[in-house]
Amino acid sequence: MSERQSIVIEEYLLMLYHLRDAGEDLKSVTLAQRLKTKPPTVHATLQRMQRDGLVKFNKKREILFTSEGESYAKDIAFRHNLAEYFLCNTLDIPWYEVHKHAHLLEHAMTPTVVEKLAKFLKYPEKCPHGTPMPGFSLPAGNFTLDNTPENTLVEILMISEELEDSEEILQSLHQQNVIPGEKHKFVTKSNDLRIVNLEQDNNKITIPLHVASKIYVIDA
């Protein structure tokens, strides 16, 4: 397998890993939409991954990891999250920018570099967006922001991987201080206007409903 093919395979594995964690359908059409890749290309790549023993398909044509594929996917997810943490907390690159840079770094990190970097960073448990490292999980009782009862104080836990692909959305959230660790009062939700309204320190914040559905919170 060439270096470029290996990078493509790792991108597919990482996306499948995140889709599964988000509870989304693991089908080629979903993968094509998220990767912004033509379905025939996705189909051909999945066939190669099946041949290489990384994935398999059930009777519903859903994509499943093999044990080897599962291990590989967790490894690339760890490398990606570790790279994001390093870029944000050591190099001071804004949290809303690190995703694109981490995608380049994750493929170049050898096992030795990963081990040394993890030790240097004191084994972080989550990335700057709040995504848990493989082996860790969000606290029990979490829910998405769009499902929050009115007049409830919540703490932001995680900005989903899907939103990380849009730096514009992340910058908007940053400007409104809707970032992991911050607490906000959920005021109202308008299904007609497709928005949710928050409040923090008397500052009123409006977030599109589709964005709120990808933000995980917990009662504060």
Q: Are residues 86 and 105 in the same domain?
A: yes
Answer yes or no: is 23 within a domain: yes
Structure token digits, residue 220 = 């504060």
Domain contains 137: no
Number of domains present in the structure of the chain: 3
For residue 14, the domain's CATH number is: 1.10.10.10
The answer to whether residue 185 is domain-embedded is yes
Q: Give the angle subtended at the CA of 135 by the CAs of 133 and 138, to the nearest 5°.
A: 65
- Does one domain contain both 111 and 167? no
The range of the structural domain enclosing residue 9 comes to 3-65
- 82-139 pLDDT per residue, tens: 999 999 999 999 999 999 999 999 999 999 999 999 999 999 999 999 999 999 999 9
For residue 131, tell me if it sits in a domain: no
Q: HEC profile for 39-66?
A: HHHHHHHHHHHHHCCCEEECCCCCEEEC
- pTM of the shown model: 0.92
49 & 78 share domain: no
Asked whether the beta carbons of 194 and 127 are under 8 A apart, the reply is: no
Per-residue model confidence as pLDDT tens digits over 195-211: 999 999 999 999 999 99
Q: Which two tokens stand for residue 219?
A: 């009662």
Q: How far is CA 200 from the centre of its chain?
A: 25
